[in-house]
Each structure stands twice: as C-alpha cells, then as structure tokens.
Amino acid sequence: MRRALSLAVTTLLLATALSGCSGISGIVGGSDSVEVPTWEVGDWWLYTFSTPDYTDDTARLVVASVSEEGGTANMLAISSLTEARRHAVLNHNPFLGRMTHDDLAAFENGEAQTVMDFPLEEGDTWGFTLFSVEWSADVRGVSSNYITMGASSADGSKLDYVYDTDAQFFSSFIWTDASDVEQLRMMLADSGDGHTGDVYFVRGGDLYSDIWEDTGPDVEIRDTFFVSDHPSDGEWDEMIYFLD
C-alpha cells in the first residue's frame, strides 16, 4: 500500500470586489500577424475546466489588477474559490496569478513563461517551461479570428491551444501527457467586460511534503514541523491538506 501525503498552507491574496469597468481593448494586425492585447480591470473569460481527478468546473477568469510587477503585469483571479484553492495546492491552472503585459506570459516558479510569443505570426517558434516541463512551441495557423498553436516536449507530452482575437485570450487550451491522458482542458464559453463581484487568488506555500512506503498492516504515522508566516504575505489564513 502506497501513501503519499502533501500538505500546503495558503494565504488568501485576493478577494476583490469589482465594479463595472471599461471593456477589453487591444490591437490586431493584418491577417498574418496578431499583436498582444491590452486588458482592463474587470475583463473576464468564462471557462469550463476539465481535469482527470475532478468533476468539470465552470468559472470566470477575471482581470483583478493591471499594475503588478511594477506596472508590467496583470493579475488574473477567478470567481471560484474552490478553483483558487486547487491551484494553490496542485498548480493545475497556470493562468491564475500574474501575466505580463508584453506577452501575456504566465509565471511559474517566479519566472515569466512565454506561452504565446507576440506578435503571433505563422511559423514562429519559441520555448518555455510550464507544469515543470520544457516545451518547444510554434504557431501553426493564423486566420482572421483564431491563431492555432502547439507545443511538444521530449517525453511526448503536448499542448494544443488556440488564441481568439475577439475574446483576446484562449478559446481552448489542452494539456495531454505522455500517456495520452488529458491533464487539463480549458474551453471558452463566453467573455466580456465589467465583471462585478468577488474574485479570488490563493497564494500557497508547501510547508511539508513527504511519501511513506507501507507494505505491512495499517499504522498511525506522525510527524512534526515548524510553521512560520508566509515569506511575503504574513500570517496564513487557512490550511489545505491534499491526500493522494
């Protein structure tokens, strides 16, 4: 019997109430090149998130701030506190949190990762790291409304994603692992501006993580560790246990 136990303690970074704001804006070039959009606070995208371990969840990604990283990045929060908590522990939604203005680059392990390399032009190639995997990406097609992109890794995993010039974000994003299992599917249902209501981003930190091997009878396992404050946000708000 194999038991794996991961423990994360999280602090609630954003629980922001938004009122109506101006709409999505951006610049789209000719038929063969697409420039990076400019987002406004309150812009939103309604996605259905599918993962192999949980039931489908539909929630809005919302621009909660456009002044992160010294005014060079946006902050994307989500209307579902459940999804925000899952991200803090499992990091299965890379597009929660900071995203740069110049490339809409998502942050992983403190580094901006260029999932889309604007301006988008057919045939362009680049690399980035996401889900702790190194990817080689390319633009496979550009039409008046959609830019089709893909990425592959050395182990056979792949990403397939489409940028929608009208919505100014992904119309779909699919991560398939080396075993041909879809680990994440994001499908756009709607988009707009002027979101009102609470949105959330939960910043987490692993306080303790270990794996126990147990080949005999069930036994009680105990361990202790010291809990200090979050390095940048002070006292923890809640404790989340993840059992696999």
Cα–Cα distance for residue pair 77/196, rounded to 1 Å: 13
What mean pLDDT is predicted for residues 62-77? 95
Structural domains in the chain (count): 1
**3-state class of 88 per DSSP?**
helix
Cα–Cα distance for residue pair 240/88, rounded to 1 Å: 9
Q: Domain range for residue 171?
A: 2-243
**pLDDT, tens digit, for every residue of 194-241?**
999 888 887 655 444 444 444 445 545 444 444 445 445 555 455 544
Cα–Cα distance for residue pair 231/36, rounded to 1 Å: 33
Residue 147 token pair = 């830019």
**pLDDT, tens digit, for every residue of 145-186?**
999 999 999 999 999 999 999 999 999 999 999 999 999 999
Q: What is the pTM of this model?
A: 0.75
8 touches 242 (CB < 8 A): yes
193 touches 41 (CB < 8 A): no
Q: 3-state DSSP: the chain helix, strand, coil percent, rounded to 5?
A: 5, 55, 40
CA proximity to 25, closest of 196, 168, 194, 144: 168
Q: Which residues contact 89 (CB under 8 A, 6 or more apart)?
A: 6, 8, 10, 204, 240, 242
